[in-house]
Amino acid sequence: MDIPYTVEARPDTGLYNAKVGIWLFLASEVMLFGALFSTYILLRVGAPEGFWPHGWLNIPVGTVNTLVLITSSITTVMAWASLKMNQFGRFKFFHACTLCLALTFVGIKSYEYHDKFMHYEITLKDGRIADGHLVKRTADQVVISGHYVEDRKELFDLRAGGPPHEHTEITIPQAQIKKMENYGPWHTTYLAIYFTLTGLHALHVIGGAIVIGFLWGPGSKLWKTDPDRFTNRIEISGLFWHFVDLVWIFLFPVLYLL
């Protein structure tokens, strides 16, 4: 006996096996990200007044990335629809777009990560805090492009319209530095959840891109022998891709805007 309903739908459920599988898998993914979003909420409401960061991320860059992902969702649907219309060439084109967009997203995200890792908060022995991007670091001094603050709290609200601050080049002798730490996940719980959520999301993007890349390249041979099964695979990977997109639609406002 062969396993039934691998390609055609089971009459009483109206679904083929893999479609049931992917929906179940996505349900578990909802719980996974749900737990992480809950973590975000708990950490945020638990933060002391004034110490939850605002405006630390670059909204235009985030917006571009959102548009990139939304567009990739559209090309994914177009790719699937092309197969349904029996136009393999169009499918190839649209899914090539999806792949490029996925890579663009990851590229922009890495740029944002890099920016955070180059950003330092330096506590001086005299109690002042210097904050800015690293320009140069030698054995006896550190140069950053940033500014001094008296109160650490000033670093937390960087929304537009707040008090302006000028970025100048500051040179600090190593001997004066008490603590120097970049804006990695260890810096604050905000950055911790930011890196975890977006990192996990990025892993999903990369995983999805690998699957789509496979189906676009070597996997597409299946089209010649079993077009229905191949179309189903594109549908399944597409559902996953929409989900990844959807997660970002939640991540963007939560991390960038609120």
Partner 1 sequence: MQASTHAIPHPHVHEEHHEEAGFWSKYVFSTDHKVIGIQYGFTALCFLFFGFCLMLVMRWQIAHPGQPVPLVGPLLETLLGNMAAKGIVSNDLYNSFGAMHGTIMVFLAIVPLAFGAFGNYLVPLQIGAPDMAFPRVNMASYQFYVLGGVIMFFSFFIPGGAAQAGWTSYPPLAVAIPTDGQTFWLAGMVLLITSSLLGAVNFIATVIQLRAPGMTWMRLPFFVWAQFVTGFLLLLAFPPLEAAGVLQLMDKVAHTSFFLPTGLAVGGNLANVSGGGNPLLWQHLFWFLAHPEVYVLILPAMGIVSEIIANNTRKPLWGYKSLVYAVLTLGFLSFIVWAHHMYLTGMGTKIATFFQTTTMIISIPSVIILSCLFISLWGGSIRFNTPMLFVMAFLPMFGIGGLTGLPLGFSYSDIHLHDTYYVIAHFHYIVAPGTIFALFAGIYFWFPKATGRMMSEFWGQVHFWASLIFMNLIFQPMFAQGMAGMLRRMADGGANYSTAKVPDAIGGLSPHMMGLHTYILWAAVGLAFAQIPFIFNFFWSIHHGKPAGSDNPWNSTTLEWQTPTPPPHGNFATVPHVYRGPYEYSVPGHATDFTPQNQPD
Of 119, 117, 113, the C-alpha closest to 132 is 119
Nearest approach in angstroms of CB 208 to partner 1 is: 17
Q: Which string of x and - marks every residue 176-205 that binds partner 1 (by CB under 8 A)?
A: --------xxxxxx--xx-xx---x-----
Number of other residues whose CB lies within 10 A of the CB of residue 153 = 12
Number of other residues whose CB lies within 10 A of the CB of residue 142 = 20
Nearest approach in angstroms of CB 188 to partner 1 is: 5
* Sheet with 129-137: strands ordered across: 168-173, 141-149, 129-137, 119-124, 177-182
Query: Which of these segments, 8-16, 62-70, 97-105, 155-163, binds partner 1 (CB under 8 A)?
Result: 8-16
First to last CA, the chain: 56
Query: Which of these segments, 20-28, 53-61, 99-107, 227-235, binds partner 1 (CB under 8 A)?
Result: 20-28
Of 48 and 218, CB closest to partner 1: 48
For residue 38, the one-letter residue type is S
Cβ atoms 211, 235 nearer than 8 A: no
Per CB under 8 A, 156 contacts partner 1: no
Q: Which two tokens stand for residue 9?
A: 């739908």
Per CB under 8 A, 17 contacts partner 1: yes
Per CB under 8 A, 154 contacts partner 1: no
The CA distance from 170 to 166, in Å, is 11
Cβ atoms 215, 237 nearer than 8 A: yes
Of 39 and 176, CB closest to partner 1: 39
Of 95 and 121, CB closest to partner 1: 121
Per CB under 8 A, 18 contacts partner 1: yes
Cβ atoms 201, 42 nearer than 8 A: no
Per CB under 8 A, 49 contacts partner 1: no
The CA distance from 231 to 200, in Å, is 28
Per CB under 8 A, 7 contacts partner 1: no
Q: Which two tokens stand for residue 106?
A: 């990851």
Per CB under 8 A, 25 contacts partner 1: yes
Of 84 and 179, CB closest to partner 1: 179
Of 33 and 216, CB closest to partner 1: 33
Query: Which of these segments, 15-23, 64-72, 130-138, 151-159, binds partner 1 (CB under 8 A)?
Result: 15-23
Of 47 and 118, CB closest to partner 1: 47
Per CB under 8 A, 43 contacts partner 1: yes
Greatest Cα pair distance in the chain: 79
The CA distance from 63 to 54, in Å, is 16
H-helix or E-strand spanning residue 120: strand 119-124
Q: Would you tell me which residues interact with partner 1 (CB under 8 A)? A: 1-5, 10, 13, 15-18, 20-21, 24-25, 27-29, 31-36, 39, 42-43, 46-47, 51, 184-189, 192-193, 195-196, 200
